[in-house]
């Protein structure tokens, strides 16, 4: 599996066959609900099971992106947005928050005794591609894509 961290959004080559966008409170509960919704939509749209490798990758990537939006990307009283896209060959997760000046740091391996800072490293491992986009002065979107099947 090839992994890429992209700083500019690479437009999906094909239009989404399905899309869903919802807002969540910038709380731990909001992040948890976003993860649960992403996995539910993924399994409903694809017919794959909750315990499939792609569903687990969707859960992990969504949990990390939503958690980062809550911890590092929120302003008081502002929600984060979760957008899910089902594309012909992949599932795209987008989390938009209100701190465009706080971009994701470069992914580097962490010492074994570190208790935090591994989340984006996990996204790097489980997502086929991920990156971030800043389209305006008020928001940024961090996204990850998971292939629907394992072909390696």
CATH of the domain at 131: 3.30.565.10
> Percent of the chain at pLDDT above 90?
62
What is the C-alpha to C-alpha distance for residues 72 and 75, in angstroms, rounded to an integer?
9
What is the C-alpha to C-alpha distance for residues 140 and 72, in angstroms, rounded to an integer?
12
- pLDDT of 102 higher than 70: yes
Residue of 73 and 111 predicted with greater confidence: 73
- pLDDT of 151 higher than 60: no
What is the C-alpha to C-alpha distance for residues 22 and 81, in angstroms, rounded to an integer?
6
The residue-averaged pLDDT of 39-67 equals 96
Give residue for tokens 């570190």.
Answer: 114
Residue 7 is predicted with a pLDDT of 47
Residue 25 is predicted with a pLDDT of 92
58 found inside a domain: yes
- pLDDT of 68 higher than 60: yes
Kindly calculate the radius of gyration of the chain based on its CA atoms and give it in whole angstroms. 15
Residue 8 is predicted with a pLDDT of 47
The whole domain housing 85 covers 4-147
Neighbours of 82 (CB within 10 A): 26
Total number of domains in the chain: 1
Give the list of residues 6+ apart from residue 59 with CB closer than 8 angstroms, or none.
35, 38, 39
Residue of 124 and 119 predicted with greater confidence: 124
Rounded to two decimals, what is the model's pTM?
Answer: 0.82
131 found inside a domain: yes
CB 97 within 8 A of CB 74: yes
The mean of the pLDDT values for the chain is 84
105 found inside a domain: yes
Residue 14 is predicted with a pLDDT of 60
């Amino acid at each position: 599996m090839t992994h890429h961290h992209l700083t500019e959004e690479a437009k999906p080559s094909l239009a989404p066959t399905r899309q869903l966008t919802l807002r969540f409170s910038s709380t731990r509960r909001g992040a948890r609900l976003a993860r649960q919704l992403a996995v539910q939509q993924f399994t409903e749209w694809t017919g794959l099971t909750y315990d499939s490798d792609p569903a687990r990758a969707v859960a992990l990537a969504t949990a990390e992106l939503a958690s980062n939006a809550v911890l590092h990307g929120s302003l008081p009283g502002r929600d984060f947005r979760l957008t899910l896209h089902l594309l012909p060959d992949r599932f795209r997760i987008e989390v938009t928050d209100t701190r465009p000046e706080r971009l994701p740091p470069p992914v580097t391996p962490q010492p074994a005794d570190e208790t935090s800072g591994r989340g984006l490293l996990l996204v790097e491992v489980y997502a086929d591609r991920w990156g971030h986009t800043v389209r305006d002065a008020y928001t940024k979107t961090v996204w990850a894509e998971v292939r629907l099947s394992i072909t390696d």
